[in-house]
Amino acid sequence: MTDDRERADAVYSALLARAGERWVQPRKERTARLLELLDDPQKTYRVVHVTGTNGKTSTARMIESLLRAHGLRTGLFTSPHLERFTERIMIDGQPIDDAAVAEAWEEIDPFVAIVDAELEAAGDAPLTFFELLTALAFVAASDAPVDVLVLEVGMGGSWDSTNTADGDVAVFAPIDLDHADRLGATIAAIAEVKAGIIKDGAFVVSARQTPEAEEVLRRVAAEHDAPIAFEGEGFALVEQRLAVGGQQITVRGLAGQYEQEYLPLYGAHQGFNAALAIAAVESLIGGAERAITGGVLAEGLQGASSPGRLQLLGVSPTVVVDAAHNPHGARALAQALRESFDFDEWGLVLGVLADKDAAGIVEVLAPLAAQVFATAPDSERATDADGIADLVERTGTRVTVHPSLADAADAAREWASSSDRRAVIIAGSVVLAGEAITLSEDEDWKSGWRA
């Protein structure tokens, strides 16, 4: 292990010593105070701010790739990570260097102590994991320096730590029910929180939304004198066709028509995410007055990736991983498996965190599976495998219980190996997806597992 990696790992240990990522309070003032002491690094570059319930990470990654294809130096901040925390902060398409992480932490550390002392004096708890990670990302992007930071909301919008930045473009992936205990029990209430990322005079682009979400976004955009474009009205995915390794898409953008562009990602939902990303980039570079040139668009889309989202991990048998950590994501996965793959039977390796709607995920995915291999992500927040199996049994789908992902994946691959018409999908959790990717990279697993 290099000294720089040790320093970066020490930063992560310091972050983990804080109140965890799930400790979220509806306020951004604490983060704003830290950034103020740091001379507001988040104001030194342009920002594309992305929120929504599902698809925001994939959309953010496509936006970043398209901007980089324009010759801009880019930053990307997303959550959570799959294997290592440096994945969350990307500079020019690559995870941030360990040395850069350590240097950014050394820059903010003295000011963290000041803010923590102020909070203690006021009877408040110290800065949290996500508050500090957000500040770290802002400082690292400023130090790089980047021209544009593509910024994914951690949770919600209005009071999220990332909303201390002023987005030049606010991007809304589809809004659905999730984190109801924090964001609200209705889609309209959740949309109200997410709409908080819209800033005065910003451009706003949105995926197709339910009527109640659309009404909220239109109203809030009007209140901020922010022009808004919705999928289907201002821009659209016109056509998509299966292609080797992905799909061919035709998109009507805000500024031009883009014919038969190759997107190396599976799933109809990724075509819609690409249309949203194109509209966001058009908005940043010139709105309806400036189309993306053909070569730049091709480079940007072909360079797009979405780890842990319909990612092919292996062949013989085929093994695919997808986070699908809520019912909305599960529905997108189910549609993609039907439309993008030609197998007769799927073996489903399923593990879900306890704060997610496991019953809703099972309801969608279990009917697609000939066999479910129930397991648990390696997390203290995991739903136990027996609990998942109980839910699956109620659907009538055959299920077996496995103590770890490795055991479940072994059993699933053995099951699938009996026929070239069988394949394996690993789903239900971002944590489980990260474990699967790490497992696929292990030397003992590479034979018959890596794509």
List, run by run, the mean pLDDT of 10-residue segments along the chain (451 residues). 86 89 75 98 98 92 97 95 91 96 97 97 94 97 98 90 97 81 77 95 97 97 98 96 92 95 92 97 86 93 88 89 89 90 95 91 95 92 91 96 95 94 94 91 62 45
CB 399 within 8 A of CB 374: yes
The predicted structure's pLDDT at residue 288: 66
* 170 bridge partner residues: 49, 204
pLDDT at residue 451, rounded to an integer: 45
CA distances from 28 to 16, 122, 156, 181, 448 (A): 20, 16, 12, 18, 47
